[in-house]
Amino acid sequence: MTRQEIEQKVTNFLIEDFEIEQELIRQDSLLKTDLGIDSLDFVDIVVIVEREFGFKPQAVELKQAKTLSDFCDYIAQHV
C-alpha cells in the first residue's frame, strides 16, 4: 500500500467517522488540537485501523503520533 493510499483512507475515515471537515485535514494538522481527536476517539481509531489496514495498533504507540503525518507514518510502518 502506498503512502498516498494510506493518506486517502485516513482522510476518508476522519471525514466519515469523526465528521472532521476536509479543509482541516492536512499532513501537519495536530491530531488533538487541530482535529479535536481525544482519548476516547483513539479507542475508535484502533478499531478502524484494524479494519482498514489489517493490524491492531498499540494504543501507547498510537498516542505518540502528534500530527496526521506521524499517524500515517505509523500506519505505513505496519502495513
| pTM, 2 dp | 0.90
What is the Cα–Cα distance from 59 to 15, expressed in whole angstroms? 21
3-78: in CATH 1.10.287.130: no
- For the chain, the domains span 3-78
Residues 14-50 pLDDT 10s:
999 999 999 999 999 999 999 999 988 988 999 999 9
φ, ψ for residue 67, nearest 5 deg: -115, 165
